[in-house]
Amino acid sequence: GTVSTPAPAQTPAAPGRNTTVPPLSQAAKQSAKPNVLVVATGGTLAGQSTDATSFQSYRAGTLKIEAMVCELPNTDKIANISTLQFGNSGSSAYTMADLYDLSQTVDQALKVYDSVVVTTGTDTMEEIAYFLDLTVQSDKPVVITGSMRPWTVIGSDAQANLYNAIKLAGSGRTES
């Protein structure tokens, strides 16, 4: 008889990761307000629910960070905010190579920005936060946030968590 060798398991290719840090505008450079970059990786915070009361029926990593930041009230009072859509997946979809790219992107951003907020899914939030703590070389603030409920359901914690992360990142009250 013949012996067949099973084909190796195929792992799906990760969606492209955007590592291009947006430049600061001239107005932001001259502003007294802190310059905060929000780097989005997806997760429940960026989740789109079936409807406003579908707390468990949602797709993580769907909404774009630029649109979500635009929905937040009074952000112009706390910081000059720029966004970078690094990816838009559930947090468990990120490989070590992706996390390395994320760390390098955060370090590059901190050469220009006063602080960075990273949004991520809560499934692996502590691991991603720990990885960034070990690998980001800058002493500037890096704040990690996520949510337990998707952005689009009533009573979501996503908006307050993102707003408060930006506020903390720009507060000048963090220590490394």
For residue 42, is it left (φ>0), alpha (ψ between -120 and 50) or beta? left
Q: For helices 125-135 and 96-109, give the axis angle rounded to 10 degrees.
A: 60
Determine the Cα–Cα distance for residues 103 and 87; give it in Å rounded to an integer: 13
DSSP string computed for 84-102? EEEEEE-GGG--HHHHHHH
| Catalytic entry in 44, 83, 119, 152 | 44
Report residue 40 as tokens.
Answer: 């989005």
For residue 83, the Cα-to-chain-centroid distance in whole angstroms is 9
For residue 134, the Cα-to-chain-centroid distance in whole angstroms is 17
Report residue 92 as tokens.
Answer: 């468990």
Determine the Cα–Cα distance for residues 37 and 98; give it in Å rounded to an integer: 19
Annotated active-site residue 44? The verdict is yes
Strands 48-49 and 58-59, sheet pairing: antiparallel
Q: Which residues are catalytic?
A: 44
